[in-house]
Amino acid sequence: MTVKTTAGRYGRALRSSVVLHAVMAVGGLIMALYLVAHMYGNLKIFSGQAAFDGYSSYLRTIGEPLLPYSGALWILRVVLLVSVGAHIYAAFVLWHRARAATGGKGGWRYQTTRNRRGVQRSYASFTMRWGGIVILLFVIYHLLHLTANVIAPGGASESPYERMINGFSIWWVVLSYVIALIALGFHLRHGVWSAFASLGANTSVVRRRRLNQLAYAVTIVIIGGFLIPPVSILMGWVR
Amino acid sequence: MNITLRIWRQQNHDDQGRMVSYGVDDISPDMSFLEMLDVLNEQLTLTGDDPVAFDHDCREGICGMCSLMINGLAHGPEALTATCQLHMRHFADGDVIDIEPWRSNAFPVIKDLIVDRSALDRIVQAGGYISAPTGSAPDANTTSVARKDADRAFDGAACISCGACVAACPNGSASLFLGAKITHLGSLPQGQPERDSRAVSMTAQHDAEGFGGCTQIGECTAVCPAGIPLDMISQLNHDVLSGLTQPGGQ
């Protein structure tokens, strides 16, 4: 079982869990940065239909005439798609390795039923994998709803502003988004901190506390920012 | 104290294994956990039964031989305490205590509570050394080490390689062990020449042994009898990533 050659060790380390976690971390942080931008754009709903729809069409003209129409947006989409793909690929390989290392039972591999929840795990840290799947399913639903408008509860529209108003005037649409955002919040809470730790940034006990505080701050800003527009629309504060 | 023990019994690696209940009476609260098991084994020997096999050596918390999953916690309920330093006073009269071996695919069960932890030795063999010139002993203080670095190295060197981190990890990862070894040698000037190749080689061996990856949950640090901090895993990640990207890192 000993890895003998130097090249063999190098190759093995290149495919190691450490590297996969770094890949997952970079992909995740890119997506988190995107979420901040996306959240900021959503808040323009409070500036009225002209501003919101104008912002939406502006996004397609970024970089013109250097880039073609929608060019910047497609570059962003490709970057996000690669990030999502790498993130999910790494997650599944690591999930498989963790199962193989523990006989497929993870933290439940002992006969005793005591202390199955461990000592210091958090709800967030233990729901990263299934929580991630929930988020993936939500993203598909969300793209079909507000990007492609294939799913159009409350009525389809060419105007992004109207799509948003139509959708979030319905209580169960808002509820589905709130549930997904809670799942996303837990994922970000552990994900942001552990991404930095995976990349080697956790250098001391103090730094560990700071990175965890950062994760909380990022989570609160992103989730809070995303919750405000749908809830405001449902309450009738934005029409 | 009268205690009921539910112990994992397994004849050998190929045996299925099962939990078996035993009663031990008149246990002194001042006995260590292993002394309590000694009492049980005397009883079993007198009645002609097979004594429970468990690992132990120094019984003062420095050798790393003792193990045991006690009520689902590696080294039992006390923090910063190896099983050999755990005393029966932390349990109550009439308690039922579940005792199991470390569980990991890289730690095959040899018998009862004894597992083969050679995988950790092979990780150390892959790079846990420094190259030092032979000859007469160097003068003291020829290589100055900053106090901060010396402390850091010593904190890593405190790892006794017991494998509790693996036993507690939901991913079956030995990252805390690996991080301690990497930090120990990587913090000292004497460890710098092999710093990159050490991180790369030991990580390659860690994964080849079938240990899982680290998801930064921290269960390992909660059970570690030597108090290895979680940031040593991040040090490991840092050294591996920089080792892989150095020119000539291979």
Q: How confident is the model at residue A2 (pLDDT cuts 50, 70, 90)?
A: low
Mean pLDDT of A204-225: 97
Chain A CB contacts of B103 below 8 Å: 102-103, 109-110
Supply the DSSP symbol for B97.
Answer: E
Supply the DSSP symbol for A106.
Answer: G
**Angle B195-208/B231-245 helices, nearest 10 degrees?**
110
Six-digit token pair at B171?
């991913």
The contacts found for A181-186 with CB under 8 angstroms, 24 or more apart, are: A181/A223, A181/A226, A181/A227, A182/A223, A183/A131, A183/A134, A183/A135, A183/A138, A184/A135, A184/A138, A184/A222, A184/A223, A185/A219, A185/A222, A185/A223, A186/A123, A186/A124, A186/A127, A186/A131
Chain A CB contacts of B231 below 8 Å: 197, 202-205, 207-208
Interface of B with A in 83-142 (CB under 8 A): 98, 100, 103-106, 119, 122, 125-126
Rounded to the nearest 5°, which phi and psi values hold at B7?
-120, 140
Chain B CB contacts of A15 below 8 Å: 207
Cβ atoms within 10 Å, residue A62: 14
User: Regarding beta strands B114-115 and B109-111, do their DSSP bridges make them parallel or antiparallel, or are they unpaired?
Assistant: antiparallel
For chain B, give the percent of residues with pLDDT over 90: 93
Q: For residues B228 and B159, is the Cβ–Cβ distance under 8 A?
A: yes
Per-residue model confidence as pLDDT tens digits over A77-94 = 999 999 999 999 999 999
Nearest-angstrom CA–CA distance, B85 and A223: 46
Size (chain A), residues: 239
Per-residue model confidence as pLDDT tens digits over A59-82 = 999 999 999 999 999 999 999 999
Least confident of A132-141, A151-160, A169-178, A218-227: A151-160
Q: What is the CATH number of domain B3-110?
A: 3.10.20.30
Q: Name the average pLDDT for chain A.
A: 95
For A169-188, give one letter per residue: b (16+ CB within 10 A) or e.
Answer: beeebbebbbebbebbbbbb
* Mutation to test the B interface, candidates A4, A5, A119, most B Cβ within 10 Å: A119
pLDDT at A236 over 90: yes
pLDDT at A6 over 80: no
Q: What is the CATH number of domain B117-131+145-245?
A: 1.10.1060.10
Paired strand residues for B23: B4
All structural domains of chain B with their residue ranges? 3-110, 117-131+145-245
Q: For residues B143 and B41, is the Cβ–Cβ distance under 8 A?
A: no
Nearest-angstrom CA–CA distance, B201 and B190: 18
Shortest CA distance from A16: residue in chain B: B207
Tokens 């900053």 -> residue = B146
Chain A CB contacts of B207 below 8 Å: 12-13, 15-17, 97
Instruction: Tell me how far apart the 2 most distant CA atoms of chain A are, in Å.
Output: 68
Nearest-angstrom CA–CA distance, B220 and B85: 18
Nearest-angstrom CA–CA distance, A8 and B201: 9
> Residues in chain B with pLDDT < 70?
247-250
Interface predicted TM-score of the whole assembly (ipTM), two decimals: 0.94
All structural domains of chain A with their residue ranges? 16-106+122-234
B200 with A207: Cβ contact below 8 A: no
B229 touches chain A (CB under 8 A): yes
Q: How confident is the model at residue A1 (pLDDT cuts 50, 70, 90)?
A: low
CATH architecture label of A16-106+122-234: Up-down Bundle (1.20)
Nearest-angstrom CA–CA distance, B74 and A119: 10
Interface of B with A in 58-77 (CB under 8 A): 69, 71-73
Q: For residues A183 and A138, is the Cβ–Cβ distance under 8 A?
A: yes
Helix then strand count (H, E) for chain B reads 8, 7
Per-residue model confidence as pLDDT tens digits over A140-169 = 999 999 999 999 999 999 999 999 999 999
A190 with B216: Cβ contact below 8 A: yes
B41 touches chain A (CB under 8 A): no
Using CA atoms in the order B128, B131, B137, B138, what is the torsion angle rounded to 10 degrees?
-110
Q: For residue B179, give the nearest of B194, B162, B157 by alpha carbon.
A: B157
pLDDT for A5? 74
Nearest-angstrom CA–CA distance, A63 and A71: 8
